[in-house]
Amino acid sequence: MLSSEEYEAWCYHLSLNYAAWSIINNVRLSEPARCVQSRHGNVSGRYPSRKMGRTIQFESHRNELASILELEHAPDIIEYYDQPPSIKLRYHSTKGKQLGVIHTPDFFVMHTAGAYWLECKIEEDLLRLAERQPARYLRDPSGLWRCPPGEEHASQYGFSYVLKSSAEIDWSFQRNVLFLEDYLRAEQLEVCPETVTCFQSLAATRPGISLATLLAFAQRHDLAVDLLYTLIVTDKLYVDLSSAALAEPERVQVFHSRSQAETLMQTHDHKIPVTTDDNCSPTYQLLIEASPTDLAVANRRYVALFPPHAKGFQSSTSVSAWRDGGRATVCTRPIQSVRPQLLSGLWRKPDYLVTRLAG
């Protein structure tokens, strides 16, 4: 959570007026407006949030909990509160009658670019609600669900209102976040530099190498397999958490960095073959069989002989790739953060969030 000074700086940065500041201050100081309960088909509970330093309620493990995991690990989410103080929505019924409904959204979210109320609904429920209350629930031409009265209420404070459907949840991403939860919540995660260089070298020389191959390499050299997951969480290796389940390592592709993966996706028409021990070149097989110490020594010698000239490159982890009969020099760019991809649904696509907040 933000300190008092950080909170004031955030408000000043967004140029919030007194009314908006009062709303946020009330949310931050209030207890949840209601206690959630389990209903038929749903399992409620509490999530111990490290970001918030408190437990966060969820009414459905199939919906709200998924949003909590996104909010918890999204780097652009500063704070989020469950069951914030109720707001009043005004809209017309199907018979034209003016209605005023007291509504408690699922979350109030403070983002680096603003603040918004977030309501999570099951897709099937939204379809039924849209028939009964079309003025409150509607799907726009782009396919996004919206709540016009919620947006109208939020706009008077410079905020937004987001209506999120369960159909937007990326379940592969959700499973992987749960798989990595212990690593994400750890206070300290450290890996010796030689081991980092070793695995980065393997990923840089064979982009898309399978996680199973790297796990086998770790076992052959008596390295803890947890090291690989630590490298993924600490941004030293890149894995698209939406592409395959980490529990199936033979299907998971590992890259040196996000930029490397994105570049290859463009050049290979979004289909990069998985690299395993079976389809490696003889030279690369030597790299796989080399010990971490030998690889670290080889990297230092390579950097001494062929120092990279590109500005901003990290020469300490440059490697030489010999493949396909020719030499290809691979220099590692500054590591892209893995945490921005811990945002499925509205978080994973940068322009998606801007669209939702601006709408």
Of 26-30, 284-288, 299-303, which range is least confident? 284-288
Q: What is the pLDDT of residue 209?
A: 93
- Write the CATH number for 153: 3.40.1350.10
Give yes or no for a contact between 57 and 82, defined as CB atoms under 8 angstroms apart: yes
On whether both 74 and 199 belong to a single domain, the answer is no
Of the listed ranges 44-58, 302-316, 330-344, the least confidently predicted one is 330-344
Higher-confidence position of 5 and 340? 5
Residue 355 lies in a domain: no
Structural domains in the chain (count): 2
Please check whether residues 35 and 72 belong to one and the same domain: yes
Q: Is residue 235 part of a domain?
A: yes
Q: Indicate the pTM of the whole model.
A: 0.69
Look at residues 89, 150, 115, 93 and name the one whose alpha carbon lies nearest to residue 27.
115
Identify whether residues 199 and 158 lie together within a single domain. Answer: no
- List pLDDT tens digits, range 320-354: 232 233 332 233 333 333 333 433 333 333 344 44
Least confident of 27-36, 162-171, 302-311, 345-354: 345-354
Same domain flag for 211 and 71: no
* Percent with pLDDT over 70 in the chain: 74
pLDDT at residue 37 in the model: 77
The DSSP code sequence of 33-73 is SS-----TT---EEEEETTTTEEEEES-TTTHHHHHHHHHH
- If asked whether residues 53 and 132 sit together in one domain, one would say yes
- Same domain assignment for residues 187 and 333: yes
User: Tokens 């997951």 belong to which residue?
Assistant: 229
Question: pLDDT (tens digit, 9 = 90+) per residue, 218-268?
Answer: 998 888 888 899 999 888 999 999 889 999 999 999 999 988 888 888 876
Are 338 and 332 a contacting pair, CB within 8 Å? no
Tell whether 126 and 150 lie within a shared domain: yes
Lookup result for tokens 């811990």:
342
Residue 356 counted as domain residue: no
Q: Which residues contact 306 (CB under 8 A, 6 or more apart)?
A: 318, 320, 329
- Residue 216 has a pLDDT of 92
Q: Give the model confidence (pLDDT) of 94-131 as tens digits.
A: 999 999 999 999 999 999 999 999 999 999 999 999 99
Segments forming the whole domain that contains residue 74: 4-169
Task: Answer yes or no: do 186 and 149 share one domain.
Answer: no
Question: In the prediction, which pLDDT does 301 show?
Answer: 67
> Residue 338's pLDDT is what?
39
- Does 50 lie in the same domain as 189? no
Mean local confidence (pLDDT), 137-155: 96
C-alpha to C-alpha distance for 258 and 332, rounded to whole angstroms: 11
CA distance 296 to 290: 10
Per-residue pLDDT, 325? 31
Task: Name residue, tokens 């509490």.
Answer: 46
